[in-house]
A and B are shown apart, each in its own frame.
Chain A
């Protein structure tokens, strides 16, 4: 069976007034049917650009895809025609954005926006589309869906709007759902509901899920696999529990440590010093070298490739064997 999604050596650059910014610098990803993958990274790591490139949502220019392949069930999306892409978007892959309010059209009732998908892709009648929209709103647990189908986006609360966006994304039963920071704008109690909903829908429909977030605890909650991104590269990849529980890349370790926990009360947080590199001038060697406690000459002269560090795990670090025992972030 072919992989649901395979990204091979993807490279994306942005031309800016200051120069060329490297947003994605050789990313490889793969996802099977029914699998969930978390892409974890900070701002500028390239995680959102990766998602947008897969969905074909990059503004080009200024963005430019410099190489690579994105295979969706074996079909290369980068060479596909615009028409073919439109056919695939919705029924095969779809996306949930961070800001639900701007993802919905304010002047149309939500029911019509969901129903529109059925009318365009499946040729439903107006009436059938509306019924399907109500069913979809039920599925994402919007209370009294039948009576709210004619309401406008602003009449819903933030959590309900995100449910509607998810309903639209799921309407055509896609095999791949990409959720880009779907709960960042929401309150914790609502975030818990939405994450629950995503997990449940993913399992029920045997869908592939890519969850993009900066929040390590959200990745832990939801996904089986995780890819940690830093400065346009994946630095560590593998089963979520193993990667976050026993990191083999100093950056992953730093991330998981700098989240406060009970035992650190009254002490300093172990922080990664410094800040991420300038995307306009990426260093020749490892991008993390300037903040890394293990860095040596090799790290600043050449970039470490992703190498296997155990069953189903890879890490891009020359010293991945030493990470667990040797790294100490200032305390």
Chain B
């Protein structure tokens, strides 16, 4: 156990970032209820810096409204951020045009939450899997495509004889495998999994997680793994970032974030998950947060978490803390970091 943790930490130091987010803000305008109502924006992401290291997995945890899904869309290039840079290999992907952009796009692929919705219902699996090669015809010569597609099917554990079937003929887990096959067809460097296993049944989820990890090892992929299943994120990630209301509030290696969490929100989040309390060797006491997360339209002033924080002080509502290095070597956005145990009244 301990051994793996150290191993992962060393890798984290050794490899360099393949993707980097710098000062990302993503603000969406809200439809006005009346013509002259004050203009409002949803601050889905409000100043996010993150690094994705080569051949590693960055896990993102947080509750709905924290900006995880927007993060996936910005990282994949589906949406252009309001502010900030999305760097792939040091190049801002949103500044590329035309052929360069298409070439870049190949490197970053997204695996969606709903496997059925992510496959065109009117196409056979063969058509779905040939699409990447039709878009990039120079990648695989026409004669070799059939073999390549069959190879992809085998890689994700599907029977190549089923290429003529339609997506609805497959089970949810198999549909997700098709989605993954399409995602890796163009040999991407980064695979973004936005709740990619959340919609699957427990017994099937484990199969797909194993598949993703096998592929990572074989193809040297980097993952950004976004999920609300905290146990799975712990299992698959090398590094983890906790998000709250459009901000990263804690980040570090998985061991730092899960076993030495310093931000009160991360601690409360992890303690609320029954699967973590049950599947852990160290006892976690349930820290019950009050209420729901506030709306990202009107985030609280100062530290965004102060409205629900069990150890909030008056100063927390006055100004927002920076992400700062802790004694354990990871980063926390809190004026009073450290374990909550013993500090609650």
Question: What residues of chain A have their CB less than 8 Å away from a CB belonging to chain B?
Answer: 42-43, 143, 157-160, 187-193, 195-196, 214-218, 220-221, 254-255, 258-266, 268-273, 275-276
Contact = CB atoms under 8 A, between A and B. Distances in A.
A269 B292 contact: no
Interface string B269-283: 100111100111100
A159 B292 contact: yes
B286 interface: yes
Q: Which 6 A-B pairs have the closest CB atoms?
A: A261-B279, A271-B206, A258-B206, A260-B235, A187-B63, A42-B201
B12 to A, nearest CB: 14
A160 B279 CA distance: 29
Given A193-B288, A269-B235, A260 B228 contact: no
Contact of B203 (A160, A191, A255, A263): A255
Contacts of A276: 171, 201
Given A273-B207, A275-B204, A189 B232 contact: no
B202 A265 contact: no
A215 B203 CA distance: 11
A275 B174 contact: yes
A260 B273 CA distance: 13
A221 B235 contact: no
A272 B281 CA distance: 24
B274 A260 contact: no
B315 interface: no
Interface of B: 1, 4-5, 8, 63-64, 171-174, 201-207, 209-210, 213, 228, 230-232, 234-235, 254, 268-269, 272-275, 278-281, 286, 288-289, 291-293
A266 B279 CA distance: 15
A187 B1 CA distance: 29
Contacts of B269: 188-189
Given A43-B201, A189-B269, A262-B279, A275 B171 contact: yes
Given A187-B63, A258-B205, A275-B204, A268 B210 contact: yes
Contacts of A158: 64, 292
Contacts of B207: 271-273
Given A218-B274, A268-B213, A259 B63 contact: no
A276 B292 CA distance: 36
A327 to B, nearest CB: 13
Contacts of B232: 260
B288 A259 contact: no
B228 A187 contact: yes
22 contacts: A43-B201, A160-B292, A187-B64, A189-B288, A190-B63, A190-B292, A192-B286, A215-B274, A217-B279, A220-B278, A255-B202, A255-B203, A260-B279, A261-B231, A261-B279, A262-B281, A263-B1, A265-B1, A265-B235, A269-B235, A271-B204, A271-B209
Contacts of A188: 63, 228, 230, 269, 272-273
B1 A258 contact: no
A159 B65 CA distance: 14
Contact of A259 (B1, B174, B210, B231): B231
B232 to A, nearest CB: 6
Contacts of A268: 210, 213
Contact of B201 (A143, A214, A263, A266): A214
B308 to A, nearest CB: 8
B85 to A, nearest CB: 30
A22 to B, nearest CB: 17
B228 A262 contact: no
Contacts of A254: 203
B274 A221 contact: yes
A259 B229 CA distance: 10
A218 B202 CA distance: 13
A42 B202 CA distance: 7
B233 to A, nearest CB: 9
Nearest to B236: A260
Contacts of B292: 157-160, 187, 190
B140 to A, nearest CB: 30
B1 A260 contact: no
Contacts of B5: 265
A255 B4 CA distance: 25
Contacts of B272: 188-189, 191-192
Contacts of B64: 158, 187
A286 B43 CA distance: 53
A159 B293 CA distance: 10
A272 B228 contact: no
B279 A270 contact: no
Contacts of A42: 201-204
A217 B232 CA distance: 13
Given A220-B274, A261-B231, A269-B209, 6 more contacts: A192-B288, A216-B202, A258-B203, A259-B231, A266-B8, A275-B173
A325 B310 CA distance: 45
B59 to A, nearest CB: 12
Contacts of B286: 192
B234 A258 contact: no
A217 B235 contact: no
Contacts of A214: 201-202
Contacts of B213: 268
A225 to B, nearest CB: 17
Contact of A217 (B8, B63, B172, B274): B274
Nearest to B61: A188
A191 B228 CA distance: 12
A234 B91 CA distance: 56
A118 to B, nearest CB: 28
B50 to A, nearest CB: 21
A241 to B, nearest CB: 11
Contacts of A260: 206, 209, 231-232, 234-235, 279
Contacts of A255: 202-203
Contacts of A271: 203-204, 206-207, 209-210
